[in-house]
Amino acid sequence: MLQRLLRLIIKELQALLGTRQGRYMLVMPVLLQTLLFPFAATLEVRNASLLIYNQDGGQASQELVQRLARTAAFTQLLQVHSEGELAHAIDQQQALVAVRFGADFSRRLQARQAAPLQVLIDGRRSNSGQIAANYVAEVVSDYLAEQGAPPASTLSVRNLYNPNLDFKWHVLPCLVAIITTIGCLMVTALSVAREREEGTFEQLLVSPLTPAYIMAGKAIPGMVVAMGQGSLIALVAHFGYGVPFTGQVLQLLAGMLCYGLALAGVGLFISSISNTQQQAFLGVFAFMVPATILSGYVAPIENMPTFFQWLAVLNPLSYFIPILKGVFLKHYLWSDMFPRLWPMLLIATFTLTTALRMFRRHIA
Amino acid sequence: MSPVRPPEAAPAAAVHHGFSWRRLLALCRKESYQIVRDPSSILVAFIMPVVLLFVMGYAVNLDAAAVRIGLVVDDSGRPAQDFARSLMASPAFEVHPGVSLEALKARLALGQLRGIVVLQSDFSTRWQQGQGGSAIQVLTDGAEPNTANFVSAYAQGVWMQWQQDSAADAGAPRQSPVDLRQRAWFNPSTVSRNYLVPGSIAVVMTIIGALLTSLVVAREWERGTMEALLATPVTRAELLLSKVLPYYLLGMAAMLMCLVVAVWVMGVPFRGSVGLLMGESTLFLGCALGLGLFLSTVFRNQFNAAQAALTAAFLPALMLSGVVYEIASMPQALQWLTRLIPARYFANALQTLFQAGNVGALLWPDAFFLALLTCFWLGLTALKARRTLD
């Protein structure tokens, strides 16, 4: 029986890897994404334009403008001379942030009175705007500190696991998870649907293989693809991008295996309820996109409303991403991994048994 | 479907060889039946957009709410206790006091905390010397860089405020004489939903436009019905238009629904005109449908075409369109690449129309580039289709 299973797996892998186009489609998108997205996915603000409306013209405001111009966040400075021009420029998206110095800013600062300084951000991009506004506030407080205002002592901040807060260290472990999700789900969900469409699924059913073996034969190639793609990105992340790898390779593989099982279960469940490849593909999509967004990759789960936090409990991705970050960055031990491994196995058990039941019903 | 008729069997005089509206209509009807009969296309066009808008609008909150941090106070002096209280009172933090730093660090590693503030034993003495800050250590979870930035910025903010308050209590003048006021244009309460939802509509429309169509031509090849179609006198233009028009109508219906959900259900302000919105959407759907058809024509295999559509249309729409990540912060080469991505222009047009209104100087360039990309993808598909059909 095991030999038959092996044959089935080999047949599946041949269907995937047998053509040049097929091999190409399993590797190229992965490499392309690994090369492009880490550079794109940053929430830092760089090369933004800053709008200055200086109603003051005194020494202090000019000094501040020059200091703002020297930061890496703002590479372009635009001067405007009226309220109307300011509103127009923000409307046209010429700048992310505008700084307005009140008429007697320098004089009031000299006299140690509250000097008005307004920071306007483009609400169409309020996240970047707020980050940029923080840079402005930093420049201002540095300036004040040097101007003999009582030295505002700063805190000593240490960023654990990622000392320079490099976004790539956050993105690449997440990419391992997201890209394996796409690969594994597509392979498991679409392969059954393709056999249904082509009519070969009936042939499989009349073979001596039991439904459980057929399912295993469909799940294992998907997991092989997931682990292959995942390892490829992990290698590029460590050797190409220099993301530290603090755990053991075996831990990474164990995480991928459990995640692959959970995913294969989801994929087979989707394929058990779809008749055509289009339905399977759209089913994959209907699962994958919300799962990715709710995984904590874009925004932390703890910031979400309670309802979405509950959904995150059911989402295998929200266990796998912390494992990846733990193994890459956080020196995870096996004991740290178990609380995240067994929920994935639980999800796998549930989805696999449900899919099996659906298949059996389909046969009966 | 029209009957399969080998060309040589058809009497030349009876067959209309040029472009025929009747045939186009018949093909469109066939395609529409296929859409309507398949529950999955209805799911994608009408249910998924709503789900996605809600997920993007409510679950993605980039303006960090209360962050969970740990707190260790090793100093029993009054200033230390006082500062610890203001940390706890801050709405930016949800403080979990702990006794040992090691225990809190373990929770930080598990992601249960996003930062730890340590008040060292010499805090009170250093504070007397005006050096209190150096006795406060802030540890953040660098694995979440965005949250880590928030933690250190908020901690710094609480610290500044506390210094000012204590100075004011002691009768000293204000420490920071600059009165910094922040205001967000268009979006005064800086709700990230107000710009994420218009952006997500661009992502949703990419799904409907490119993903659905990436399958349709490949399906005909896989099932062998393409050969049957080719054997009829159907022209290339009729065939392409019959794939574009029904999905265009589906896309526009989905667009209207997204608008209704965004404005009336989610309360996102819409300040532009619906006519312009429909114009930009038409152009964008042109690109998305063109791209999907192109991939479908090239790959002739549903699995590969779907993979390609994910890579070439959906992921770039999410990552490179400026919806989530600022384009100006990307490296120069990547910024150039984003110019090829239709979702970039559409997301920008949507954000402008929703939040700013009819700003012609922004909307016209968007429309121009969308029109250009539409011509590019539809033209390329027509070219490729001719080669494969001959």
Three-state helix/strand/coil letters over chain B: CCCCCCHHHCCCCCCCCCCCHHHHHHHHHHHHHHHHHCHHHHHHHHHHHHHHHHHHHHHCCCCCCCEEEEEEECCCCHHHHHHHHHHHHCCCEEEEECCCHHHHHHHHHCCCCCEEEEECCCHHHHHHCCCHHHHEEEEEECCCHHHHHHHHHHHHHHHHHHHHHHHHHCCCCCCCCEEEEEEEECCCCCCCHHHHHHHHHHHHHHHHHHHHHHHHHHHHHHHCHHHHHHCCCCCHHHHHHHHHHHHHHHHHHHHHHHHHHHHHHCCCCCCCCHHHHHHHHHHHHHHHHHHHHHHHHHHCCHHHHHHHHHHHHHHHHHHCCCCCCCHHHCCHHHHHHHCCCHHHHHHHHHHHHHHHCCCHHHHHHHHHHHHHHHHHHHHHHHHHHHHHHC
How many contacts, defined by CB atoms under 8 Å, are there between A and B?
A: 326
Ordered by start, the domain boundaries in chain B are: 21-59+190-389, 67-169
pLDDT-based confidence at B243, cuts 50/70/90? confident
Helix (H) or strand (E) holding A55: none
Check A278 against B114: CB less than 8 A apart.
Answer: no
Rounded to whole angstroms, the Cα distance separating A166 from B295 reads 36
Partners of residue A294 in chain B, C-beta under 8 Å:
55, 59
The two three-digit tokens of residue B359, written as one number: 């700003």
What does the pLDDT read at residue B278? 94
| Amino acid present at B26 | A
What does the pLDDT read at residue B346? 94
The two three-digit tokens of residue B173, written as one number: 């003048």
Give yes or no: residues A172 and A210 share one domain: yes
What does the pLDDT read at residue B176? 58
Rounded to whole angstroms, the Cα distance separating A337 from A326 reads 8
Give yes or no: residues A256 and A348 share one domain: yes
Give yes or no: residues A93 and A18 share one domain: no
User: Of residues B293 and B193, which shows the higher confidence score?
Assistant: B293
What does the pLDDT read at residue B172? 59
User: Is the predicted pLDDT of residue B53 greater than 80, yes or no?
Assistant: yes
Give yes or no: residues A236 and A100 share one domain: no
| Amino acid present at B276 | L
| Amino acid present at B20 | S
Give yes or no: residues A76 and A171 share one domain: no
What does the pLDDT read at residue A159? 86
The residue of chain A with its CA nearest to that of B117 is A157
User: Of residues A185 and B77, which shows the higher confidence score?
Assistant: A185
The residue of chain A with its CA nearest to that of B268 is A124
**pLDDT tens for chain A, residues 1 to 364:** 788 889 888 988 888 888 888 888 888 888 888 988 888 887 777 778 888 888 887 888 888 888 888 887 888 888 888 888 888 888 777 888 888 888 888 888 887 777 778 888 877 776 777 778 878 887 887 787 777 655 556 677 888 888 888 888 999 999 999 888 988 998 899 888 888 888 888 888 788 888 888 889 889 999 999 999 999 999 999 999 999 999 999 999 999 999 999 999 999 999 888 888 888 988 898 898 889 888 888 878 887 888 888 988 999 999 999 999 999 998 888 988 999 999 999 999 999 999 999 888 876 6
In the beta sheet, which residues pair with residue B182?
A119
Give yes or no: residues A130 and A266 share one domain: no
User: Is the predicted pLDDT of residue B12 greater than 50, yes or no?
Assistant: no
The reply to whether B102 touches chain A by the CB within 8 Å rule is no
> What region, left, alpha or beta, does residue A97 occupy, with left being phi > 0 and alpha being psi -120 to 50 degrees?
beta
Give yes or no: residues A34 and A59 share one domain: no
Nearest C-alpha neighbor of A277 from the set A211, A198, A221, A353: A198
The residue of chain B with its CA nearest to that of A166 is B145
Give yes or no: residues A180 and A309 share one domain: yes
Q: Give the range of the structural domain holding residue A20, as residue numbers without chain letter.
A: 2-41+164-363
| Amino acid present at B53 | L
The reply to whether A126 touches chain B by the CB within 8 Å rule is yes
- B113, B301, B325, B364: best mutation site toward chain A, by most A Cβ within 10 Å? B325
What does the pLDDT read at residue A363? 67
Partners of residue B337 in chain A, C-beta under 8 Å:
36
In this prediction, what percent of chain B has a pLDDT beyond 90? 21
pLDDT-based confidence at B11, cuts 50/70/90? very low
Is residue A152 situated within a structural domain?
A: no
Give yes or no: residues A53 and A34 share one domain: no
Closest CB to B133: pick one of A140, A153, A303: A153
Give yes or no: residues A227 and A305 share one domain: yes
- Residue A118 has what DSSP assignment? E
Rounded to whole angstroms, the Cα distance separating B268 from A111 reads 44
What does the pLDDT read at residue B372? 94
Check A129 against B184: CB less than 8 A apart.
Answer: yes
What does the pLDDT read at residue B171? 66
Contact between B370 and B350 under an 8 Å Cβ cutoff? The reply is no
Is residue A287 situated within a structural domain?
A: yes
Rounded to whole angstroms, the Cα distance separating B329 from B320 reads 11
On average, the pLDDT of chain B sits at 83
Count Cα atoms within 13 angstroms, Cβ side, for A223. 23
What does the pLDDT read at residue A362? 72
Partners of residue B211 in chain A, C-beta under 8 Å:
281-282, 285
- The per-residue b/e assignment along B150-177, b for 16 or more CB within 10 angstroms, e otherwise, is bbbbbbbebbbebbeebeeeeeeeebbb
Rounded to whole angstroms, the Cα distance separating A165 from A151 reads 27
Q: What homologous superfamily is domain B67-169 in, according to CATH?
A: abc type-2 transporter like domain (3.40.1710.10)
pLDDT-based confidence at B13, cuts 50/70/90? very low
The residue of chain B with its CA nearest to that of A17 is B304
Q: Which of A113, A146, A179 is the last residue of a domain?
A: A146
pTM of the model: 0.84
Is residue A171 situated within a structural domain?
A: yes
The residue of chain B with its CA nearest to that of A87 is B185
Give yes or no: residues A76 and A112 share one domain: yes
Is residue A154 situated within a structural domain?
A: no
- B180, B192, B355: best mutation site toward chain A, by most A Cβ within 10 Å? B180
Contact between A295 and B232 under an 8 Å Cβ cutoff? The reply is no
Nearest C-alpha neighbor of B136 from the set B211, B201, B86: B86
Listed in order, strand segments (DSSP E) in chain A are 48-54, 74-80, 97-101, 115-122, 156-160
Count Cβ atoms below 10 Å from residue A363 Cβ, excluding itself: 11
Residue B63 to chain A, least CA–CA distance (Å) = 7
Rounded to whole angstroms, the Cα distance separating B49 from B257 reads 9
Is residue A243 situated within a structural domain?
A: yes
DSSP strand pairing (B136-141 vs A156-160): parallel
Is residue A153 situated within a structural domain?
A: no
Closest CB to A109: pick one of B40, B178, B219: B178
- A139, A144, A160: best mutation site toward chain B, by most B Cβ within 10 Å? A160
ipTM, two decimals, is 0.81
Sign of torsion over alpha carbons B344, B345, B350, B352: positive
Check B148 against A305: CB less than 8 A apart.
Answer: no
- B42, B47, B62, B118: best mutation site toward chain A, by most A Cβ within 10 Å? B62
The reply to whether B315 touches chain A by the CB within 8 Å rule is yes
Nearest C-alpha neighbor of A186 from the set A221, A211, A236, A142: A221
Give yes or no: residues A184 and A139 share one domain: no
Contact between B307 and B292 under an 8 Å Cβ cutoff? The reply is no
Count of the separate structural domains present in chain A: 2
CATH number for A65: 3.40.1710.10
Contact between A183 and A25 under an 8 Å Cβ cutoff? The reply is no
